[in-house]
Amino acid sequence: MEKIEFDKYKLEIRSECLALGREIRHKQLIEFRESIPKIKDILENNSLNFEKWFKSYQNMINFGSRKILSISKKENLLEIVYRNNAKGVSKTFKTNFPCKIPIDQDFQYFFGLWIGDKAGGGRFGVMNKEKSIIFFVRSYLEKLYQKPEMVLHVHSENLPNLEYNYDKLVRINSIRNGYAISTHSINGIFKSFFKYLEQDLDLFLDLIPNKSIFFAGLFDAEGNVFLEDSCFRWSSNNKINIPIFIKHLKSLDLFKRFDGSNLVTNNKNIFSDNILPYIKHPSKINDAKLVCYGEGFLNERFKTILRHICLNPGISSKQTAQALKRVKVSSQILFLNKHKYIERRGYPFKMYITTKGAASLSPGGKDL
């Protein structure tokens, strides 16, 4: 056999062996995945049995570049030591987990928040910049035996003036402005567990005690209050989760329409009773209370209209819109009238500021 033909023969054999190896590995991974228990099988006494899930999942860890070296347990603490091989370098890591995770109020809120604002890469945590949410996430991760760090991500050279300290700074090369805080632990295993829960989200939402708390967490991540239309919206571009969100919001009587990017409800009674009590974002709480109860601090766009009416009593809506050169003035005026910040008299309507409206323009900025 000539050398060229022999070399070609060797390459063909090598390719066939590699293909066979990939096929065997692929089948083995499928078997490992199929051996992982269903969510309902790790649900015990209103807790998630993480240890039971991990016993099956560790086969997938040992099959790759990582290898479990030891597993120890003390009460509800599970300590895992593993070795990771990457780019010719071997490193040993130790990480902690709870054996069981209570499906309590904190978990349900965190899970909704994580679904909407999860940190990227191997980081297990949340990207957000609201102080109350950041400190909740840090506290909850510690509750799960994690060691969270707070990393400031900025799009510009200008650093925000924060009321709290952060552990690291990451500058993003972008023309955009703004910032966010990633509050997370480096724990790809825990992130894989939460992704496992998300993959069966439809069933899981039927199993948790109060999915309203989950949707409160999701609202703090992706939601907003649209004052002009007196409605509440969950923004989402996740094509897999959107139908699931719609189904479960309908079951809570909290779905009216999907406008292509927002799941919308106008049911302020259900929202105020079932979602509002669990929201942590201060400005979202304030705006929700404005819609539900007509109480709270007005946004500047409403105060601008109030000031103009205060200085020009008897002015019409059309005259106000022309003077301010703004869109959506009519819907903002309807909101102010509905919640008694102004009153309209005669026809065509002439507008006058009320005592409540004047109080909202006071230094405190809130109605009396």
Clarify whether residues 52 and 124 are in a common domain.
no
**pLDDT tens per residue across all 368 residues of the chain:** 555 565 555 566 666 555 544 554 545 445 546 679 999 999 999 999 999 999 988 887 766 667 889 999 999 999 999 888 766 678 888 899 999 999 999 999 999 999 999 998 889 999 999 999 999 999 999 999 999 999 999 987 788 899 899 999 998 887 777 899 999 999 989 999 999 999 999 999 999 999 999 999 999 999 999 999 999 999 999 999 999 999 999 999 999 999 999 999 999 999 999 999 999 999 999 999 999 999 999 999 999 999 999 999 999 999 999 999 888 899 999 999 999 999 999 888 999 999 999 999 987 655 43
- Is 276 in contact with 288 (CB distance < 8 Å)? yes
- Give residue 20's pLDDT: 47
- Has this prediction a pTM greater than 0.75? yes
Domain finish residue from 293, 314, 334: 293
- Give residue 28's pLDDT: 45
On whether residue 193 sits in a domain, the answer given is yes
On whether residue 272 sits in a domain, the answer given is yes
Domain finish residue from 158, 182, 199: 199
Q: What is the CATH number of the domain that holds 344?
A: 1.10.10.10
On whether residue 208 sits in a domain, the answer given is yes
Clarify whether residues 159 and 215 are in a common domain.
no
- Give residue 368's pLDDT: 36
Clarify whether residues 173 and 114 are in a common domain.
yes
Clarify whether residues 286 and 324 are in a common domain.
no
Residue 318: count other Cβ atoms within 10 Å of its Cβ: 12
Q: What is the CATH number of the domain that holds 136?
A: 3.10.28
Clarify whether residues 117 and 128 are in a common domain.
yes
Residues contacting residue 127 through CB under 8 Å, at least 6 positions apart? 117, 118, 119, 120, 153, 180, 181, 182
Domain finish residue from 80, 102, 124: 102
Clarify whether residues 314 and 349 are in a common domain.
yes
- Give residue 326's pLDDT: 84
- Give residue 157's pLDDT: 79
Clarify whether residues 121 and 135 are in a common domain.
yes
Beta strands in 136-268 (DSSP E): 149-154, 168-171, 179-186, 223-226, 231-235, 257-258, 262-265
On whether residue 85 sits in a domain, the answer given is yes
Range of the domain at 20: 1-35
Counted domains in the chain: 5
Clarify whether residues 289 and 227 are in a common domain.
yes
Q: Nearest-CA neighbor of 140 among 178, 165, 105, 191?
A: 105
Half-sphere exposure of 356 (CA within 13 A, CB side): 14
Clarify whether residues 110 and 180 are in a common domain.
yes
On whether residue 365 sits in a domain, the answer given is no
Clarify whether residues 64 and 107 are in a common domain.
no
**Which contacts qualify for 358-362: CB closer than 8 Å, 24 or more apart?**
358/310, 360/297, 360/298, 360/303, 360/306, 361/303, 361/306, 361/307, 361/310
Euclidean distance between CA atoms 66 and 283, whole angstroms: 44
Clarify whether residues 60 and 128 are in a common domain.
no
Q: What is the CATH number of the domain that holds 216?
A: 3.10.28.10
On whether residue 366 sits in a domain, the answer given is no
3-state secondary structure (DSSP) of residue 345? strand
Clarify whether residues 279 and 243 are in a common domain.
yes
